[in-house]
Structure 1
Amino acid sequence: MSDASPSPFLDLPGAVDTTDAGVPAHYGGPLAEQRALAEGGAIVDLSDRAVLTIQGPDRLSWLNSLTSQALTGLRPGESSETLLLDVTGRVEHAVRLLDDGETLWLLVDRPEAAGLLAWLDSMRFMLRVELADRTADLATIGTLGDPPLPIAAPNGVPLIWHDPWRAVAPGGHQYARGEHPGAGWTWSERLIPRDALPSLVARVRTGELSAAGTLAADALRIAAWRPRFATEVDERTIPHELDWLRTAVHLSKGCYRGQETVAKVHNLGHPPRRLVMLHLDGSEGVHPAPGAVVSLDGAEVGSVTSSALHYELGPIALAVVKRSADAGATLTVDADGTPVAAAQEIVVPPEAGAEAHVPRLPRLGAVTRTPRQ
C-alpha cells in the first residue's frame, strides 16, 4: 500500500496538519468547527483512511466466521462493524462494514490496512472471495449531517457507512447505564471518488460547503463515548473494556477466534479495565496528551487514550483505568508534569460482566441440608 499523499484540503485557508496525517486537524477555529459539525453543516476530510473490499458469494459468511459480529444477514446498504480478535480475545483490528449486494466494503485506519489485508488473504483457502485495496480510488469524508456529496455507488448502492453507535446492535450488550450520549451520534463516513476531492475543496472555498478538522470530529466522538481503534486500543484491550459489545460483538453467534474470552468475561467474570470519560480541570491551562498517566491517591491506575477541548463541555478525555479504581473518586492526570484533577463519567462500571449470575455450586462432598417443614 502506498503512503498517503497530502490532501488538497490542506490548501484551504488556515488548514493545519498537527498530526502529520496528511489531512487538516483544523482550519484555525477548532471550537467553531465543532459547532458547525455538531449542527450537521460541515464535512471532515478523512482521506488518510483506507478502503478495502471483499467480493465473491462467500464474502459475508467467510468474514462472519472470522470476526465478532454476525454478518450473514447484512443487507445491501446496511452498515455494521466487527472486531478481529486474537485467540485470547484481545482486539487486533476494528473494521467498519458496508455491503452493496456484490461487494463488502471495509473502512479502516490506514496503519491497519496492510496487516489486515495480508491476514485475510492468508485465510481465504478455497472460499469464493477476492480481496482488494481500493484506497487509491476512493476517499472517505465524515459528517454528522447529510451534505450533498458525489457519493460513489459502483453497484447502485451509495457507499455511506452509518455508525451503528447510536443504539445497541442486535445480539449486543451495553454496560453503560442510563441515558447514553451516543444516542445523538449521527456520524457517517461517505466514500467519494478520490479525484473528486479538488472539487469539494473548491465548494468549500465558495462557501457552498463547510469544512471541519479532525480535532473537531475527535472532540465530539469523545463526548459520545465512542471508542476508536487508533486511540483506545492497546495490546491488552478486550471489547468489554470499551463497551464495544454494544455494536461490534454478537453474543449468540457461532464460533470465531477469541469468542471463548468474550463469553467468559461477559457471563462469568469482569473486564480487568474500564473506559471512563474524564471532565478535566481547566484552571491550569494545560491539556494532557494521549498516554498521560492517570492516578488515584498517588498510585497509577490507567492512562488517557484521547483528549480534546469540547466547545460546550470544556476539556475532556477518554481514559482506560483499572476496574478496581474507585468509580466515585476524583482522579489525577499528569499533563507534562502538571497534575490535573479529573472527574469520572462512568462508561463501563466496575461491576460490568458476570451477566449470567450463575449460582454457586456446593463443594464436592458437602452436605446439602433440606429446610425443615
Structure 2
Amino acid sequence: MKSPLLSLPGAVAAEGQDEGVAAHYGDLFREQRALADGKGLVDLSHHGVVTVTGADRLSWLHLLLTQHVSELPVGQATEALILSANGHIEHALYLVDDGETVWVHVEPGTQDALVAYLESMKFYYRVEVADRTEDFAVVHLPAGSITEAPDGVVVRETPYGRDLFLPRAELEAYAAAHGPLAGTLAYEALRVEGHRPRVGFETDHRTIPHELGWLGTAVHLDKGCYRGQETVARVQNLGKPPRRLVFLHLDGSDVHLPGHGTPVRLAADGEDGRQLGFITTSARHHELGPIALALVKRNVPLDAELMAGDTAAAQESVVEV
C-alpha cells in the first residue's frame, strides 16, 4: 500500500520490505537528529494492522503468544511473538488493548498470514479477528515528542516513542500539521543503535528468541504453554542458543554499507575465512557513523575483530553467552 506522503517534495521511496513509504525526505542525518531530539514523525503506514475484539480476546491471545497478556492493563503496550512448533520465530506483534479491542501492528505484508493463523485457532472462543490495514495507518512519534494524538486515536507508548493507529484518511493532514517528517532510514538507524531486532531482518527460518535478546521484552518465562514453548524452556534451562546478536561499529572509510546477508568472518582469517554469521541490518548513524546488527555463532570470541564482507567491524555484545 503506497503512502500518500510519498508525493511530498523530496520524498525518496524505500525499497524491499519497507516499500510503500519514504526512505528519506532529502536529509537523512537531519531527520535522525530530529527524531533523537523528540521531534517529527515517521510514516509506518506500510505496516499491517490487525485487531482482536470479543470478551475472550486477552485470555485467548495468552494461549497463543509468548507474552503474558491475560491481564494486560488497558493502555499498556507490550510485544509478543508467535513461534513455530519448533520454537522458531514466525511473527512479532506490537500490541496494546484499549479496553474493548487489542490493536496490533506487524511487519509489512505479514498480516494476511497472521490473520489466517489466528482464525484457525479461534475454536469456541468469543473473539473476532480483523485485518484493518486498509483503514488505519501506523505513525511513530519519537520518545520525548510533545505532539498530541488526535482524540479517539489508539496510542501504543513505549520507551522508544509512541505508535499511533491513525485513521488512514487522516494521515496526510496529520503529517502536514505535525512534521518534520523522517523516513525509514532514520528510524532504522535509531533501531540499530537501540539493538532492537526486527522480523525479516534479524530473523531467518531458524531464529529462536534467545538469539536476539527478545526474552527481555517479548517472552514471559513463567506463563503457561504456547506453541514452541518447549524449545524456549529447554534452551533457557539446559543449554545456550546457537547464535547471538551483536552490534557492529563499521569502518567509516568504506563508501558502501554491507547489505543484509553479507557474510561475517574473523578479521584474522581474511576474506577466505569461514563464515561465522551475517549482517542483518546496516545503517549510517548521525553520531556513530556506519553501524550494523549481525547474527553470529555463539562461540565467536567477544573481543574478536570481525570483517563484514570486506569492511572491518568491531563488535559489542547484545545477547549474553
Q: TM-score range by the shorter chain?
A: over 0.9
The question of 1:273 aligning with 2:243 is answered yes
1:344 to 301, 315, 318: 315
Match of 2:276, SS state, is: strand
Aligned mates of 1:160, 1:196 — CA distance in 2: 15
Question: Taking structure 1 as reference, are residues 265 and 64 closer, same or farther at Cα in structure 2, changes over 3 Å only?
Answer: same
Could you tell me which of 175, 195, 202 is aligned with 2:176?
Answer: 202
Asked whether 1:222 is paired with 2:192, we answer yes
Counting strand residues as a fraction of each chain, which structure ranks higher?
2
Confirm whether residue 327 of structure 1 aligns to residue 302 of structure 2. yes
Count of residues in correspondence between the two structures: 313
On the 8 A contact 2:83/2:89 being kept in 1, the answer is yes
Distance across 2 between alignment mates of 1:70 and 1:305: 28
Aligned alpha-carbon RMSD (Å)? 1.3
TM-score, normalised on structure 1? 0.81
CA–CA distance in structure 1, aligned partners of residues 211 and 11 of structure 2:
35
Aligned to 2:164: 190
User: The residue matched to 2:66 in structure 1 has which SS?
Assistant: coil
For residue 368 of structure 1, what is the aligned residue in structure 2? none
Q: Which of the numbers 4, 17, 23 marks the counterpart of 1:8? A: 4
SS of 1:232 mapped into structure 2: coil
Aligned to 1:72: 70
How far apart are the structure 2 equivalents of 1:308 and 1:111?
23
Structure 1 unpaired stretches of 5+: 167-185, 352-373
Q: What CA distance in whole angstroms lies between the structure 1 residues aligned with 2:281 and 2:146?
A: 27
Matched, 1:109 2:83: no
How many Å separate the matches in 2 of 1:284 and 1:102?
A: 51
Report SS of the residue matched to 2:172: helix
1:7/1:147 CA distance change after superposition, 3 Å: farther
The answer to whether 1:99 aligns with 2:73 is: no
Shift of 1:110: 2.4
What's the CA shift for 1:202? 3.2
- Is 2:14–2:20's contact at 8 Å kept on the other side of the alignment? no
Q: Is the 8 A contact 1:150 1:196 kept in 2?
A: no
Q: Give the alignment of 1:1-373 within 5 angstroms.
A: 4=1, 6-19=2-15, 21-144=19-142, 145-151=144-150, 153=152, 158-163=153-158, 166=159, 186-203=160-177, 209-296=179-266, 297=269, 298-334=273-309, 339-349=310-320, 351=321
Q: Which runs of 5+ in 2 are unaligned?
A: none
Distance 1:41 1:256 in 2: 39
Checking the alignment, whether the CA contact within 8 Å between 1:152 and 1:191 is kept in structure 2 is no
Provide, for residues 211-244 of structure 1, a one-character-per-residue CA deviation record: whole Å limited to 9, x for no partner.
Answer: 1000000000100001111311110100000000
Alpha-carbon deviations, 1:10-47, whole Å to 9, x = none? 12221001316111100111011000011011100011
TM-score of the pair, normalised by structure 2: 0.94
Give the distance between the partners of 2:72 and 2:175, measured in 1 at CA: 34
Offset of 1:200 from its aligned partner?
Answer: 2.6
Letter in 1 for 2:47: R
Q: Matched residues in 1 for 2:226 and 2:90: separation?
A: 13
Greater Rg, structure 1 or structure 2? 1
Structure 1 SS opposite 2:247:
strand
Q: Distance in 1 between matches of 2:229 and 2:175?
A: 45
Change (3 A) 1:152 1:235: farther
- Structure 1 vs Structure 2: percent identity of aligned residues? 50
Give the deviation of 1:69 after TM superposition: 0.4
Q: Is 16-25 or 79-88 further displaced after alignment? A: 16-25
Contact 1:280 1:340 in 2 (8 A): yes
